């Protein structure tokens, strides 16, 4: 392939029509076929699923077509078809994984509330950020 | 087909827009621009946690606030039709030999040489890829 890259697109064009995993700034994982990119790394993902991991379980939610604004992407990479099925991980239903995720979130929030309380007792202020869930 | 052109193709179709703050907006796309600013009508706004809802007849969203948009599956098929139509149109335009205004853009000295339509080495490599 002898492309002339549009400005500031680096090499995303090599990934077109491949199955990609995209990690968003809010921690969500999307897996789909990359159909298009532009100079801002805005992406079009086709036949997308959202994959949720909790512990060694995961669940896939079909989501369709995404137009992702480039600035929300942390990283992306091609999914290796041969290594896709990992025996250590167990796929569960959407409902189960959503429940597991909710529980995990509650635990996390409780922990950050405790931390805030302990820090307050020591005269330090810590406001748990419940609005902004950006992991990155 | 660039992401923003796809968005334009999706005009008048229902879509879901999620903002960076986690709120989602469901509505029909009225218009969009190069900055991804969008106009929606018949909107249902859902709060971050999905527990509060607001209905509004229309709304305008600044592009920089958007995390992603989800559009219906049919749009990809529309793109295919659109592209087929455009190639056909181009082919029929090419029939006659060289009127000077065949290439819409470019001054006299640009004729032939720099135009990127149908050239062997398009300047925009995205034009090579047909989305599926």
Measured CA angle at B128 (ends B125, B132), to 5 deg: 125
Q: pLDDT value at position A3? A: 54
Answer yes or no: is pLDDT of B119 > 50: no
Q: How many CB pairs under 8 A join A and B?
A: 83
A116 in contact with B, Cβ within 8 Å? no
- Does B14 or A3 have the greater pLDDT score? B14
What does the block give as tokens for B85? Answer: 């139509």
With CA atoms as reference, report the closest residue to B37 among B59, B13, B70, B6.
B59
DSSP 3-state assignment of B39?
strand
Residues of B in contact with A35 (CB under 8 A): 1, 76, 131-132
Q: pLDDT value at position A8? A: 55
A40-51 pLDDT tens trace: 999 999 999 999
Numbers of helices and strands, H then E, in chain B: 2, 5
**What was the ipTM of the complex prediction?**
0.83
Hey, where are the domains in chain A?
9-133
- Asked if B29 contacts B38 with a C-beta cutoff of 8 angstroms, the reply is yes
HSE-CB at B78 with a 13 A cutoff on CA atoms is 14
B76 in contact with A, Cβ within 8 Å? yes
Q: pLDDT value at position A132? A: 59
Question: Between chains, do A64 and B132 touch, taking CB under 8 Å as contact?
Answer: no
For A9-133, CATH gives 2.30.30.100
- What's the mean pLDDT in A51-73? 95
According to the CATH classification, is domain B3-92 in 2.120.10.70?
no
Q: pLDDT value at position B122? A: 47
Percent of chain B at pLDDT exceeding 90: 55
Answer yes or no: is pLDDT of B128 > 50: no
Q: pLDDT value at position A5? A: 58
Answer yes or no: is pLDDT of B62 > 50: yes
Question: Between chains, do A35 and B126 touch, taking CB under 8 Å as contact?
Answer: no
pLDDT level of residue B2 (50, 70, 90 thresholds): very high
- Does A121 or B116 have the greater pLDDT score? A121
pLDDT level of residue B113 (50, 70, 90 thresholds): very low
A9 in contact with B, Cβ within 8 Å? no
Question: Between chains, do A68 and B68 touch, taking CB under 8 Å as contact?
Answer: yes
Q: pLDDT value at position B108? A: 47
Q: pLDDT value at position B96? A: 52
Which range of A74-88, A110-124, B24-38, B102-116 scores highest in mean pLDDT? It is B24-38
Answer yes or no: is pLDDT of B63 > 90: yes
Answer yes or no: is pLDDT of A113 > 50: yes
- What's the mean pLDDT in B63-81? 91
Q: Are strands A57-68 and A90-91 parallel, antiparallel or unpaired?
A: parallel
Q: pLDDT value at position B83? A: 78
A81-90 as b/e, with b when 16 or more CB fall inside 10 Å?
eeeeeeeeee
Lowest-pLDDT choice from A73-77, A110-114, B39-43, B87-91: B87-91
Answer yes or no: is pLDDT of B36 > 80: yes
């Amino acid at each position: 392939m002898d492309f002339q890259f549009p400005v500031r697109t680096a090499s995303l064009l090599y990934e077109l029509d491949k199955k990609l995993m995209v990690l968003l700034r809010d921690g969500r994982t999307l897996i789909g076929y990359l159909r298009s990119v532009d100079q801002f790394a805005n992406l079009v993902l086709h036949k997308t699923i959202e994959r949720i991991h909790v512990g060694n379980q995961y669940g896939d939610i079909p989501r369709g077509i995404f137009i992702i604004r480039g600035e929300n992407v942390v990283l992306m990479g091609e999914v290796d078809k041969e290594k896709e099925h990992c025996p250590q991980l167990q796929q569960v239903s959407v409902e189960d994984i959503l429940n597991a995720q909710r529980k995990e979130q509650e635990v996390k929030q409780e922990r950050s509330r405790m931390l805030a309380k302990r820090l307050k007792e020591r005269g330090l202020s810590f406001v748990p950020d419940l609005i902004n869930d950006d992991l990155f | 087909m660039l992401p923003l052109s796809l968005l334009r193709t999706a005009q008048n179709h229902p879509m879901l827009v999620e903002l960076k703050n986690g709120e989602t907006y469901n509505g029909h796309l009225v218009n969009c621009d190069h900055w991804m600013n969008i106009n929606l009508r018949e909107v249902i706004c859902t709060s971050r946690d999905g527990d509060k809802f607001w209905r509004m007849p229309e709304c305008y969203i600044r592009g920089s606030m958007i995390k992603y948009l989800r559009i219906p599956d049919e749009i990809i098929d529309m793109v295919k039709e659109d592209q087929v139509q455009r190639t056909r149109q181009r082919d029929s335009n090419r029939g006659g030999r060289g009127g000077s205004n065949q290439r819409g853009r470019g001054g006299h000295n640009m004729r032939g040489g720099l135009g990127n339509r149908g050239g062997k080495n398009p300047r925009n490599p995205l034009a090579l890829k047909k989305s599926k």
